Amino acid sequence: MHLLPNPPQREAIRYLDGPLLVLAGAGSGKTRVITQKIAYLIEECGFSPSNIAAITFTNKAAKEMQERVGKLLRDKPSGLTISTFHALGVRILREEARALGYKPRFSIFDANDSFAIVSDLAGSVDKATIRRLQSVISGWKNALVTPAQALKGVSNETEKLAAQAYASYSATLKAYQAVDFDDLIALPVELFENHPEILGKWQNRLRYLLVDEYQDTNACQYKLLRLLAGPRAAFTAVGDDDQAIYGWRGADVENLRGLPRDYPNLKLIKLEQNYRSTVRILKAANALIAHNEKLFDKKLWSELGHGDPISVTVCKDNEKEAESVVMKLQAHRFEHRGEYRDYAVLYRGNFQARALEQFLRDQRIPYALSGGQSFFDKAEIKDITAYLRLLANSDDDPAFIRAVTTPRRGVGGTTLEALGSYAGERHLSLFAAAFEEGFAHRVQARQLAPLLEFCEFINRLEYRAAREAVEPVMNDLLAAIGYEVWLNDEDDKRIALARWDNVQELIKWLARKGEEDGKSLIELTQTIALINLLDKQEDGSRPDAVQLSTLHAAKGLEFRHVFLIGVEEGVLPHRESQAPDKIEEERRLMYVGITRAQRSLHLSYCERRKQGRELIPCEPSRFIAEMGKEDLRFSGGKADSTPDKAGGAARLSAMKAMLAANKVG
């Protein structure tokens, strides 16, 4: 990385005369601008760290920023906010909960917790339907559409069902003293709009805002930033309209267009020098993205040399494509004496990874699958750890709700709503509220009995968990709740068996850990929570393995050598993205894929693709032609199969010779 900021970077770091938009192309050093600006504000301009907030989208980006700022500043800044949007939302809500009618220790529900509630409300067990309803409700929340507005504007049956569930869902969450992921942004907006004195307090506290990946903000996030910035408008927004690829989850690139309108004195600074890729890769990326309607004109350039031509391989079908990629990768690594971690294979959809994984395993090549599910994120593990969380902390409301409903223990939704409402009024946890005399008068005896039975069961278990060996306590817990029987009722035999095996693995691990560390089950629960957190905080170190990733998950990453597969019509661009605005987003997705590559880029597409038992004919993606042919080198397919075979044979002979020479040496 370059040592000194280049002139546009330097200008962006020092500019403080009003709102600023930094249009930062891929690999142009945007994180550097944000972190150095934080250091400049504190060291040169006398800002207190507690008056600065840098906001980003992922924990990984926030962590990287914190580390970089720590290195830049001699004195560790205390009070500096570097967080995700959602973490900032939690902080605001914890402090101001009472103004919205919540207790400060409100619960945060994850997608699984919400799924169970929506399923109950919709009266449906079809998982795909419930996920669709969840997605529609989430879209409304992010667009700041209220349940009443949603009901008025429905245009189809799914929306009608979602709108009916939305109002009840919001009421249920409130009764449980819980919020979901979307509420972490929507509720602070509601709070600030209805309580100007609270808004004023936060505007005075966060006097300078720096926002990363601005093109990925949705309507709700944009509103939150506008409210926090207030009339002072002391902020730096960093973004790139060419990398806006999250429209499907509510991100709106129009927020970039809206900035000059909302802030007429907005200063625009472009970062166009790329420190990542070779000239050829950038030339192809620029040519491709030029086919999109532009918000702001920008052209990436580099001083890293011309670089290798971009290879385009035409393959007979997707199995041959996977084989070709693995062989090419092996040969390239051997030739360049590289490491496996230097290589990434990127694709549009997860289904494309299957054939690849098989060939990589056959060749004993280590690989890491991006976005793979953590063991502790599996539903069955979360079910059992909910019981453990409740044993360790009876005030953990999400754990209480998950445990009492998985498997169901005769406690219905009406009882839980009444309990939630009572707990909210008394500022108690659900568990504590269940034992109160006042609550007993609100429900019928037949409703109260199974609830108290459950709570007493937890109390007995808690006593044992602090004193006895792990394994017998866990086995008794599973037997008492009938978890294995419930799994078999819920899923088909094969899936139920796999899930039960995971639960057994958890128990063995807990028992082993308990013995090794001399810890009780209660103490081990803290260990699980920590492991779970650490799982989610990807550290920057990459194992020596080929990275397999979707294009969406690869954003923000870079690799020396990139293989981009399945560059076909119907795959990239996706067959459901043929409308002009959606094609533009698909083109941006391709652009993101191209600009992940530092030194070499290899594209491939199939003449036919296997779908089930059928072979479907394929067309090369329009994006290949849009990259310009000058720097592309084609091989394979009908057109030039002979030279490709000859080239392949020559490469193979060269490899054999090198291997033989190595053996002799």
Selection from 26, 105, 502 nearest residue 275 by Cα: 26
pLDDT for the residue numbered 287: 95
Which H/E stretch holds residue 603? strand 597-606
Cα 305 to Cα 29: distance, rounded to the nearest angstrom: 18
User: How confident is the model over 404-417, as pLDDT tens digits?
Assistant: 999 988 898 889 98
User: How confident is the model over 201-250, as pLDDT tens digits?
Assistant: 999 999 999 999 998 898 899 999 999 999 999 999 999 988 888 877 77
Q: Are 466 and 520 in contact (CB under 8 A)?
A: yes
pLDDT for the residue numbered 537: 38
Say how many C-beta atoms besides its own lie within 10 A of residue 1's C-beta.
Answer: 6
pLDDT for the residue numbered 652: 53
pLDDT for the residue numbered 11: 97
pLDDT for the residue numbered 653: 55
For 332, residues 6+ apart whose C-beta sits below 8 A from its C-beta are 338, 343, 561, 600
Low-confidence ranges of the chain (pLDDT < 70): 1-3, 75-76, 105, 124-125, 371-375, 526-542, 638-665
Cα 429 to Cα 359: distance, rounded to the nearest angstrom: 52
pLDDT for the residue numbered 153: 82
pLDDT for the residue numbered 650: 47
- List residues with catalytic annotation: 30-31, 212-213, 243, 596
Selection from 601, 616, 605, 596 nearest residue 567 by Cα: 605
User: Which one-letter DSSP state was computed for residue 568?
Assistant: B
pLDDT for the residue numbered 542: 65
